[in-house]
Structure 1
Amino acid sequence: MIIKKTINPFTTNSYILIQDGHGVLVDPVGDPEEFAKTLEENQAKCLGIVYTHGHYDHIASAYAFYQQFQVPLQIHSADREMFYFPEKNLSMYFSRNFSLEEGIPVITFEDLEVLTFGGILLQVYHTPGHTPGSVCLQWESDLFTGDTIFEGSIGRTDFPGSDPKIMQSSLQKLKAMDPGLAIHPGHGDSSTIEEELLENPYMR
């Protein structure tokens, strides 16, 4: 089961993955108690908090979610420092100065790792370009793409740490994936690889 929540001022999509009493949060932003309520309603326990990249609109609630669920935060190694440097996580764009408190456990992962949370297995695909450590996370036939690709568009590549040429390489990875994969982006509506190959100008 996948439950999408967009209850935050950034219009960031957060996802709750639930299977056999286990839950994983992907890019959770907003009120942790709302997520806890959803997990409880589905008789699931949160085993992991995973981020597709380290921009502020995705990590703004990281401390609150750690406090609520007491599980480590997980992110690609290339974006780990974005938890601690406002100039890298771009919180200044939102008139904030975000830096994660020291002592909060952060686990990093690499390309092609499989993250295991009970029966939920997330395959990591490193797709840099929007940020150095952007990833897509595959769970069975679903792909959580963060800000790498959206319905009809892609993530911006004019931010500090972004790279349009590297983004093109990442898009090539997506083009080679199963066209039947459902895409669940960091903003906007869901899609499929097949639909984006047909309709997204950046995937042609």
Structure 2
Amino acid sequence: MAAEAVLRRVVVGVLDTNCWVLHARGDRRALVVDPGDEAGRVLAAVADLDVVAVLLTHAHFDHVLAVPDVTGTLGVPVLAHPAEAPVWPHEVEAARRAGHWDAGTATADLLARDPAPLAFSASAARWDGAYTPVADGEALVVGPLEVTALHTPGHTPGGLTLSVDGHLLTGDTLFPGGPGLTGPPLSNFPTIIGSVRRLLTWPGPTRIHPGHGPDTTVAAERPHLETWTARGW
């Protein structure tokens, strides 16, 4: 009998990022996806598991702030797509200049309400950007699970989606209602539409677990692809 994938969601940080913990039912070996903040809560969520690696769907600040604490505590590597290499340095430099992290279209509202959660600290521990490269189509072994990494660029150049046991962990590539934001630097709308088109070839019941907000399914989103393409966002 094939292993059953189990997903735990830990919602963290100023942008309510979904940090996912993936393991097989009955097996302790696990993968942490996008530890975006609140390392203590992420570590508590895996206290009964043996984490083998941290994987980044992409390197925007709200998906990586807890990386140094999580990987330092657990002694595990960071996995990412090689095309993502310029994103984190760009994030840090832009935040250093502005004095705050860039939260896209939510930035102005968040700063107006309370600037503290977005404030950039030059002295805070930050991920050093080092990672083990993961290629498109590469099989990642998490206990008895075989997890397929898919290169799904557009929101960022090295965006990754994970496919396992009827689930897609899409990061900020695909949400209920459309593709992720392509306004920031290093993003591209036609590219993300190509990535979304690829993901929507999965069977209809496949569950989509995005980087923020609720889950959806391929069947629920597929009919809207051409509408998204025409509207341009």
> Where on the TM-score scale, by shorter chain, does this alignment land: which range?
0.7 to 0.9
For the 8 Å contact 1:78–1:132, the answer to whether it is kept is: yes
Q: Corresponding residue for 1:152?
A: 177
Matched letter for residue 145 of structure 1: T
* Distance in 1 between residues matched to 2:94 and 2:213, nearest whole Å: 21
Cα deviation, residue 22, structure 1: 0.9
* Distance in 2 between residues matched to 1:189 and 1:114, nearest whole Å: 26
Q: How does 1:95-106 map to 2 (within 5 A)?
A: 95-96=119-120, 100=126, 102=128, 105-106=130-131
CA 1:89–1:185 in structure 2 vs 1: closer, same or farther (change >3 Å)?
A: farther
Choose which of 4, 12, 23 in structure 2 pairs with 1:18: 23
Structure 1: tracts of 5 or more residues without a match: none
* Distance in 2 between residues matched to 1:146 and 1:50, nearest whole Å: 11
- TM-score for both structures, normalised by structure 2: 0.77
* Distance in 1 between residues matched to 2:179 and 2:90, nearest whole Å: 24
State the secondary structure of the residue aligned to 1:33.
helix
* Distance in 1 between residues matched to 2:155 and 2:34, nearest whole Å: 15
Choose which of 138, 145, 160 in structure 2 pairs with 1:120: 145
Q: How does 1:80-99 map to 2 (within 5 A)?
A: 80-86=85-91, 92-93=101-102, 94-96=118-120
CA 1:163–1:203 in structure 2 vs 1: closer, same or farther (change >3 Å)?
A: closer
- 2:81 pairs with 1:76: yes
Q: Corresponding residue for 1:37?
A: 44
Q: Corresponding residue for 1:198?
A: 223
CA 1:78–1:100 in structure 2 vs 1: closer, same or farther (change >3 Å)?
A: farther
Cα deviation, residue 80, structure 1: 2.5
Q: Corresponding residue for 2:108?
A: none
Q: Report the aligned-residue RMSD.
A: 2.4
- TM-score for both structures, normalised by structure 1: 0.87
Choose which of 2, 10, 16 in structure 2 pairs with 1:5: 10
Matched letter for residue 29 of structure 2: H
When Rg is computed on C-alpha atoms for both structures, the one with the higher figure is: 2
Identity %: 25
Structure 2: tracts of 5 or more residues without a match: 1-5, 103-117
